[in-house]
Amino acid sequence: MRWTAGNRDSIEDMRGRSPMLRAGLPIGLGGLVVLLIGSWLTGTNLLTLLDTSGVDTGAPMSGAVATSPEEEKTVDFVGAVANDLQFTWGDLLGPRYQRTAVVLFRDSIDSACGFAQSATGPFYCPEDHKVYLDLGFYNELSRQLGAPGEFAQAYVLAHEVGHHIQALLGTEAQVREAERQSPGQANALSVALELQADCYAGVWGHAAMQPGRFMAGHVELDRGDVEIGMNAAAAVGDDRLQKMQTGHVVPESFTHGSSAQRVASFRRGLDGGTIESCSGR
């Protein structure tokens, strides 16, 4: 994977802030992952975090960001990928595209979709059209889930920006309305939405594999990155996570899709390279 550190126009750095604790935790890609693994490792049911009635713990605080050269390189990487995602989708959608931002935080943050902690994992908030990311998730992705490598990290961002595309095209609102009208189909509808976001991640991957992109100042992938992306998609399949936690797989409780489904969706976007290639399931 070839990229160049440049500006951080697509990043809102909130790593030096600690918000007040409030109820309501949005869940995005990786949120269920970290909660399930944390529960499995500690013997504590961390899923109760999803139904907390928390109270304020104090006034918001801000300060200098304690960081390291390694972390700053990761921030530059996130900035490069986020900028490239904006470029690619702006090219594909034209005037329909509206810019998003990646909000970096540590430990917790008060987003437009509610209070979120690191355990929430990366998520997209349709209320403010922003992606939220604690860089610590990348360590979990590599160590706990066995999905190391830069393209695995890029896949996470591309998936969340895929949700941004769904919001812009009205898909996200349509699915949420369908969930309200048919609560019994909520899981199936959620899986369909997540798989389409995986497909959109593949669409970006298709664009990023075109020769000459690096020389033009953009992110460029090679064939070796594809395998890393497939591994990342498989690592966060519902069946794999359930197997890790309980030793059993319950397909009717899936919210993101099985490993095979996620890999197939990512591959469909990678091969097709168009929005239309991600229509349907």
Q: What is the pLDDT of residue 58?
A: 39
Query: Of all residues in the chain, what percent carry a pLDDT higher than 70?
Result: 75
Looking at the predicted structure, is the pLDDT value of residue 24 above 50?
Answer: no
Give the least confident one: 61-70, 121-130, 194-203, 264-273.
Answer: 61-70
Tell me: the pLDDT tens digits for 217-233?
899 998 888 888 777 77
In this prediction, residue 67 has a pLDDT band, given cuts at 50, 70 and 90, of: confident
**Residues comprising the chain, all counted:** 281
For the cut 50, the answer to whether the pLDDT of residue 17 exceeds it is yes
Asked if pLDDT for residue 54 goes beyond 60, the answer is: no
Does 43 have pLDDT greater than 50?
A: no
Predicted confidence band of residue 66 (pLDDT cuts 50, 70, 90): confident
Calpha distance 207→128 (Å, rounded): 26
Residues 56-82: what's their mean pLDDT? 76
Is it the case that residue 50 has pLDDT exceeding 50?
A: no
The whole-number pLDDT of residue 53 equals: 41
Identify whether the C-beta of residue 247 lies closer than 8 Å to the C-beta of residue 239: no
pLDDT-based confidence at 216, cuts 50/70/90? confident
CA distance 152 to 224: 12
CB 167 within 8 A of CB 131: no
Q: Residue 160's pLDDT is what? A: 96
pLDDT tens-digit profile of 133-185? Answer: 998 888 888 777 777 788 889 999 999 999 999 999 999 999 999 999 998 88
Distance CA 254, CA 258 (A): 7
Between CA 138 and CA 74 the distance in angstroms is: 10
> Residues 101-128: pLDDT tens digits?
999 999 889 999 999 888 778 999 999 9
Using the structure block, give the residue that is written with the tokens 């490069």: 80
> Quick one: pLDDT band at residue 241, thresholds 50, 70, 90?
low
Mean of pLDDT values over 269-273: 95
Q: Is the pLDDT of residue 36 over 50?
A: no
Q: Judge whether residue 33 has pLDDT over 90.
A: no
Q: What are the structural domain ranges in the chain?
A: 11-278
pLDDT at 21: 46
Q: Choose the weakest-confidence range: 37-51, 99-113, 202-216, 218-232.
A: 37-51
Per-residue pLDDT, averaged over 35-55, amounts to: 44
**Burial readout 207-222 (b: 16 or more C-beta within 10 A, e: otherwise):** bbbeeebbeeebbbbe
Asked whether the beta carbons of 88 and 207 are under 8 A apart, the reply is: yes
pLDDT at residue 226, as a whole number: 81
Can you give the pTM of this predicted structure?
0.81
